[in-house]
């Protein structure tokens, strides 16, 4: 072979190596009982959840790079059906919803992706990610063996798979996506639905496989996921989890870094020592894929928070905080954990551990290969007392509730309880007038007759609003005779309102009379309050507020929202006056919404006021902007 030919061959070999899994080379993703295998190579993979709609596109590159710098191999995200198909057949993949751009940003960073299509996601997201129009498909019943639902679900799943395929984003095409998920935490629902649940789950698995992505599918919290779908674990700890077949890898799809926040609730934090211990314990027992839920939680922008009563912050005490800033020591300690485990990777994916008891609460897991690789995990399960153990003729001191990692079976490179990273604390400081807030009072004195309708009785809120707004006005009138006792020194009548959720503001003749709200655990509530009525016609206006739609629970699509009554006046001379079935006038939304005050780019004729002036004459419904 001549020099020129040899040069060409070397160039070709170099080109193939340099391109790696490019469009020219189809890459394979398979699995065995030890691990996910990429091009035949078993991998220990650390993944982190970053949801593209919970941050802005300008943040994505920085968030993904920080995750990579922290030892993350895979970025995981749900796919949010309601933002992509707001009305049937009309798709939206722009701005924060540009999932293709998000996937390509992951790819440019040299990371893999796990696409959890669902399309049910839960995720403390409005309506669990389902578009509200789905509720009104004739004959539909969510997440069960129901043809209208399966048809719609399959249509969206195939839409997303087709979009990813068109952009060559599956690893089988040279893209970053190495795993996909169908359904989400269905196991409990499946048992409740019995045979219909099992049939639906089996159908969903087979439907997903038939899309031909070329990468494995998973189902989380689904013990009976059929082959070849891999069942996986979600939780604070998953070391006791095992897949349903001995030839499937052990995958932890949600290692909870913290917890979400609800209005009026506590801000949950998880010490990084405990999270690191849970991860190390999972790895030492043969786990090979861990996804942190969340690695960056982000923000529930607009009306995306579900629950209801989930806050707009989805910080989750994650290693990267809501603002995209690194949270120490959580980020740094996990980074060191990942580095330490990667030092053990060859041994971990090659053999099974030999487990030896070193004390009442102490164990060692040893991974030793014929080729000489040796890794050990020294564990102390005592929650209160430290321990001194003998291993390989050497003594090791183990703090309580900790695991030490020895990549060479001799030297400790990491202990889950020993944090060597400086703690940082975010502190919010006053802006000292940097921002100039402006306010605008919502006009509640008159109605836009073109947008109202009147009917007898109380209507369910979402059936009226179709989720176009969180607000629905319920309005009626009562005539009070001049002889009523309360007008002549007697006790004011009492208005009692029973609501199915989530909050209500009561206006009597244009003046705020009271407010009430439920909680995430109990959306229903009863308002009881005195009302100052006058002789003649009195206008009662109830502003019902939905604080995010439900995202989890059996047939949550059938749950009611709004004021279904009874609504009654007590303490009149005639006794109780039930207003429930008299004529009510309805108006969807607030005038500020109709004037597009929500949009930062809106151009309106509204006269905004400096907040300092607005504060001097507080109004019950006020818009604020900066």
What residues have CB less than 8 Å from 353, skipping those under 6 apart? 284, 285, 286, 365, 366, 367, 377
The answer to whether residues 202 and 282 belong to one domain is yes
Percent of the chain residues past pLDDT 90, beyond the cut = 85
User: Is residue 371 domain-resident?
Assistant: yes
Q: Are residues 321 and 236 in the same domain?
A: yes
**Is the pLDDT confidence value at 478 over 70?**
yes
My answer on whether 234 and 374 are in the same domain is no
Is the domain of 389 the same as that of 304? no
Strand partners, 327: none
Give the whole-angstrom CA distance, residue 200 versus residue 190.
Answer: 8
DSSP 181: E
Tell me how far apart the alpha carbons of residues 239 and 416 are, in angstroms, rounded to a whole number: 15
Together in a domain, 123 and 163:
yes
Q: Taking a C-beta distance cutoff of 8 angstroms, is the pair 513, 507 a contact?
A: yes
Residue 206 domain flag: yes
Residues 111, 250, single domain; the answer is: yes
- Single pTM value for the model: 0.93
Mean pLDDT for all residues in the chain: 93
- Structural domain including 519 reads 438-625
Kindly report the number of other CB atoms within 10 A of residue 323's CB atom.
Answer: 13
Give me the CATH number covering residue 522.
2.60.120.260
In a domain, 20, yes or no: no
What mean pLDDT do residues 520-541 have? 96
- Rounded average pLDDT over 498-526: 96
User: Is 18 domain-assigned?
Assistant: no
Q: How many other C-beta atoms are found inside a 10 Å radius of the C-beta of residue 604?
A: 12
Residue 224 lies inside a defined structural domain of this protein? yes
The residues assigned a catalytic role are: 185, 254
- Whether 505 is in a domain gets the answer yes
Name the residue among 535, 59, 562 with its Cα closest to residue 297: 59
- Digit-coded pLDDT (tens) for 305-337: 999 999 999 999 999 999 999 999 999 999 999
pLDDT at 20: 43
* Per-residue model confidence (pLDDT) at position 26: 64
Query: 274, 292, 327: which is the final residue of a domain?
Result: 327
427 pLDDT band, cuts 50/70/90, is: confident
Does residue 334 lie in a domain region?
no
CATH number at residue 227: 3.20.20.80
**What is the model's pLDDT at position 426?**
77
Residue 603: band (very low, low, confident or very high) from pLDDT cuts 50, 70, 90: low
Q: Are residues 389 and 524 in the same domain?
A: no
Q: Which of 391, 423, 455 is a domain's end point?
A: 423
Per-residue pLDDT of 175-197, as tens digits, reads 999 999 999 999 999 999 999 99
Whether the predicted pLDDT of 19 surpasses 50: no
Residue 450 has φ and ψ, to the nearest 5°, of: -70, -20
Distance CA 84, CA 99 (A): 9
Confidence of residue 434 (pLDDT cuts 50, 70, 90): confident
Pairwise CA distance, residues 288 & 43, whole Å:
7
429 in a domain, yes or no? no
How many domains is the chain built from?
Answer: 3
**Residues 271 and 417 occupy one common structural domain:** no
Same domain flag for 134 and 60? yes
Q: pLDDT (tens digit, 9 = 90+) per residue, 106-155?
A: 999 999 999 999 999 999 999 999 999 999 999 999 999 999 999 999 99
What burial class does residue 384 get, using C-beta atoms within 10 Å of its C-beta: 0-12 exposed, 13-18 middle, 19+ buried? exposed
State both tokens at 166: 């068109």
pLDDT at position 100, please?
A: 98
pLDDT surpassing 60 at residue 12: no
Given 370, 394, 423, the domain boundary residue is 423
pLDDT of the residue at 614: 61
- Nearest-10 crossing angle of helices 99-108, 147-166: 40
Q: How far apart are CA 324 and CA 314, in angstroms?
A: 12
135 and 215 belong to one structural domain: yes
Smallest Cα–Cα separation from 473: which of 616, 299, 608, 591?
Answer: 591
* Residue 5: per-residue pLDDT: 43
Is the domain of 220 the same as that of 92?
A: yes
Chain segment 253-266, per-residue pLDDT in tens: 999 999 999 999 99
**Partner residues linked to 570 by β-bridges:** 494
* One domain, residues 480 and 362: no
Query: Going by C-beta distance under 8 Å and a sequence separation of 6 or more, which residues neighbour residue 161?
Result: 117, 180, 211, 213
d(CA 85, CA 317): 31
């Amino acid at each position: 072979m001549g020099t020129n030919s040899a040069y060409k061959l070397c160039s070709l070999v170099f080109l193939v190596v340099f391109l790696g899994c490019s469009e020219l080379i189809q890459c394979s993703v398979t699995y065995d009982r030890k691990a996910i295998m990429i091009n035949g190579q078993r991998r220990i993979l650390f993944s982190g959840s970053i949801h593209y709609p919970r941050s802005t596109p300008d943040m994505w590159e920085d968030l993904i790079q920080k995750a990579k710098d922290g030892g993350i191999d895979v970025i995981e995200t749900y796919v949010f059906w309601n933002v992509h198909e707001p009305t049937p057949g009309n798709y939206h993949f722009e701005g924060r919803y540009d999932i293709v751009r998000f996937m390509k940003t992951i790819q440019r960073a040299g990371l893999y992706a796990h696409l959890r299509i669902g399309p049910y996601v839960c995720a403390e997201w409005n309506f669990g990610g389902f578009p509200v129009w789905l509720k009104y498909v004739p004959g539909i019943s969510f997440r069960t063996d129901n043809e209208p639902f399966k048809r719609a679900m399959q249509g969206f799943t195939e839409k997303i798979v087709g979009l990813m395929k068109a952009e060559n984003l599956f690893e089988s095409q040279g893209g970053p996506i190495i795993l996909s998920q169908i359904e989400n935490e269905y196991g409990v629902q499946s048992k409740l639905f019995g045979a219909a649940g099992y049939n639906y789950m089996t159908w969903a698995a087979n439907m997903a496989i038939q899309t031909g992505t070329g990468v494995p599918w998973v189902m989380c919290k689904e013990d009976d996921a059929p082959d070849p779908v891999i069942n996986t674990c979600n939780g604070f700890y998953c070391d006791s989890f095992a897949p349903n077949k001995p030839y499937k890898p052990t995958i932890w799809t949600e290692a909870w870094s913290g917890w979400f926040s609800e209005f009026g609730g506590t801000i949950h934090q998880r010490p990084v020592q405990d999270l690191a211990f849970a991860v190390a314990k999972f790895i030492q027992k043969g786990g090979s894929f861990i996804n942190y839920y969340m690695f960056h939680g982000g923000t529930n922008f607009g009306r995306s928070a579900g629950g209801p009563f989930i806050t707009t912050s989805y910080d989750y005490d994650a290693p990267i905080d809501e603002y995209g800033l690194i949270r120490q020591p959580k980020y740094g300690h996990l980074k060191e954990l990942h580095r330490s485990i990667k030092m053990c990777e060859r041994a971990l994916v090659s053999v099974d551990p030999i487990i030896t008891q070193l004390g009442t609460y102490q164990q060692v897991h040893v991974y030793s290969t014929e080729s000489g690789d040796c890794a050990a995990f020294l564990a102390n399960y005592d929650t209160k007392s430290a321990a001194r153990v003998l291993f390989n003729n050497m003594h090791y001191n183990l703090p309580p509730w900790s695991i030490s990692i020895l990549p060479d079976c001799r030297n400790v490179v990491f202990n889950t309880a020993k944090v060597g990273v400086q703690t940082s604390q975010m502190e919010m400081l006053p802006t000292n007038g940097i921002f100039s807030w402006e306010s605008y009072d919502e006009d509640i004195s008159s109605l836009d007759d073109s947008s109202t309708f009147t009917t007898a009785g109380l209507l369910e809120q979402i059936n009226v609003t179709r989720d176009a707004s969180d607000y629905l006005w319920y309005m009626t009138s009562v005539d009070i005779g001049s002889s009523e006792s309360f007008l002549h020194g007697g006790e004011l009548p009492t208005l009692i309102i029973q609501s199915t959720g989530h909050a209500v503001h009561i206006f009597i003749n244009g003046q705020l009379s009271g407010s009430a709200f439920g909680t995430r655990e109990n959306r229903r509530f009863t308002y009881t309050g005195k009302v100052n009525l006058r002789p003649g016609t009195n206008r009662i206006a109830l502003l019902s507020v939905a604080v995010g739609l439900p995202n989890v629970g059996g047939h949550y699509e059938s749950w009611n929202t709004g004021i279904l009554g009874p609504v009654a006046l007590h303490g009149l001379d005639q006794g109780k006056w039930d207003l429930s079935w008299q004529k009510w006038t309805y108006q969807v939304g607030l005038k500020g919404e109709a004037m597009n005050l929500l949009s930062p780019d809106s151009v309106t004729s509204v006269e905004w006021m400096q907040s300092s002036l607005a504060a001097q004459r507080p109004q019950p419904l006020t818009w604020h902007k900066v």
